[in-house]
Amino acid sequence: MSSDEITCPFCGSGNGCDHHLASIDLGECEIYAGYLDAIGPNWSEEPIRLDDPIREVFLSAFSQKLKKLPFEDSPELMKLWKNSRIRPADPDEPIIILGAILASFLVARLGKAGSICINNRVDQLWSSIEVCELFAENPKEVVCRYFSSLKSELGLV
Ligand SMILES: [Zn+2]
């Protein structure tokens, strides 16, 4: 199966309708299409980064050497925590989280927030990659729900 055979479960379109939330590479956790990869509504915003709140909280937990983590009650976030490490010498990316683990976390959370995942295999020059094509009736609402539940679990609100 290749990406051009994927059709939207909401409108049946085969090429990039407004329901396409994202294409997530399940190995590297790269997000490369759809609403999440698009330029914001004012053509000036940065693409939305789903893992920013996680990195922010992890970085402060690492640097403060917290005894009690604010997200201890979440098994999924604890799994991310155990699979992340700090690299303070790189201010652009001080927190490293293993791509495949972050990808499965994001797909599960966006599913809980109301999106549908269609598994896809995209052929590249020498290999193929496993991709989750996420669709939602209203991608913007899904992203809002995702962030509000994530932030409360992280202790940010
Ligand atoms: Zn559609």
Tens place of pLDDT for every residue, the chain, 157 residues?
A: 444 578 999 999 988 899 999 999 999 999 888 998 876 555 556 777 899 999 999 999 988 877 889 999 999 999 999 999 988 888 888 899 999 999 999 999 999 999 999 999 999 888 999 999 999 999 999 999 999 999 999 999 8
Ligand 1 center from residue 17 Cα (angstroms): 5
Number of domains present in the structure of the chain: 1
> Residue 21: in which H helix or E strand, if any?
strand 20-25
pTM for the complete prediction?
Answer: 0.89
- Going from the Cα of 122 to the center of ligand 1, the distance in angstroms, rounded, reads 20
**Residue 125: what pLDDT?**
87
Compute the distance from residue 120 Cα to the ligand 1 centre, in Å.
17
pLDDT of residue 79: 95
Contacts of 60 (CB under 8 A, 6+ apart): none
Q: How many CB atoms lie within 10 A of CB 119?
A: 12
Check residue 39 and give its pLDDT. 61
Give the per-residue pLDDT at 41.
53
CA of 10 to the centre of ligand 1 (A): 5
Range of the domain at 8: 3-153
